[in-house]
Every structure is written in structure tokens, then in C-alpha cells.
Amino acid sequence: MRTPRRAARVAVLDPAGSVFMFRYDNEEVGVHWAMPGGGLDPGESPLQAAERELREETGWTDVEIDGTLLCLWEHDFTRAGVRVRQHEHIFLTHGPRRDPAGDLVAAHAADRILRWRWWSPADLSGGREPLWPPQLPELLADVRKVGAPATPVDLGFVRNGFVGGS
């Protein structure tokens, strides 16, 4: 049995279309790449959580999220020893290409963030490491071709290809 968890993430694209991502190490699913984000606090909307998590994990206080949703998806993993089924809202925004700002060492250690990088469209399409969601290269390719979706793409439940069981 999985505990339901709501979360929000942010796809921050630079002017060249690269996306900012963190490399995480999770006790159940192992090493993978995901965008800044995390669980909703009580009373928080997904947009509020996305804004807070982006500030906390990157130190960026000037990147604004206008509420454009790229996609929704659910997936399973273990967080702090608890097996969860996480329902995520992934927001889309644009910002300058830069490094995270401030002292984030403790926050990254607590979240098991190993490192960060900007992924170019070519990096995404030729990547060999697991991405959350796995459909991210196709979603962002569509954004580059036709712009942000009018309604978010609902990926439903996605089994992470590298997860050993549900």
C-alpha cells in the first residue's frame, strides 16, 4: 500500500531551451534526474508549492511562474522511508541560465540531491540516465515546436522504468 502525496515541480527553461534539473539518489528507485520541486505543505496550492520549492532548492527569488502547467503525472517511490504514490503538477517557466545561489548544501543533502545541471534538448533526447517524468524529452520538444500546452498533458500513472516493483 502506498501513501498518497501531492507535489509540484518547475521546468525552468533557459533562452536556448535547456531545462534545469537535479540528480537525486532515492532509496527505492536509485539515481534519477528531476526538476526542482517537492511536496505540498498543508494549505498550499500546487503553484505556491512550486514557487516555494524553486526558491528553497535553487536560491532564485526572481523567477516567476505564471501558472502554466506542462503536465500532471503519478509515480511511486520511497520518501524518508515511506512508500508513496506521488501526484505531481509540473509547471513551465523561463529564466536565465545560471547556477543556484546561496548556501544550499544542507537543503540538498537532506533531499539527497547529488548535483545539478542544465540539460540541452540534445542532452535530453540522448540521455542515458532516468528522468522524471520519463516523457520529459517529448514534452519539452513539443513546447519548443508549438509552445506551452493550452491544457496540461495528463500522463496518468507512470511506472518508472528503473523501479523494481510497485
Domains along the sequence of the chain with CATH? 3-157 (3.90.79.10)
Where b means 16+ CB within 10 Å and e means fewer, 116-154 reads bebbebeebeeeeebbbbbebbebbeebeeeebeeebbe
C-alpha cell belonging to residue 137: 524529452
Cα(105)–Cα(121) distance, integer angstroms: 28
* Whole-number Cα distances in Å, 105 to 20, 63, 108, 116: 17, 21, 5, 12
Coil, helix or strand at residue 35: coil
> Tell me, what's the pLDDT at 26?
84
What are φ and ψ of residue 43, in 5° steps?
A: 80, 0
CA distances from 117 to 35, 41, 112, 124, 154 (A): 10, 27, 15, 12, 26
Query: What is the pLDDT, as a whole number, of residue 13?
Result: 98
What pLDDT, on a 0 to 100 scale, did the predictor assign at position 164?
33
Q: In residues, how long is the chain?
A: 166
Which residues in the chain show pLDDT less than 70?
A: 161-166
The helix (run of H) or strand (run of E) holding residue 79 is strand 69-79
* Amino acid 120: pLDDT: 96
pTM to 2 decimal places: 0.93
Residue-wise pLDDT tens digits, 93-103? 999 999 999 99
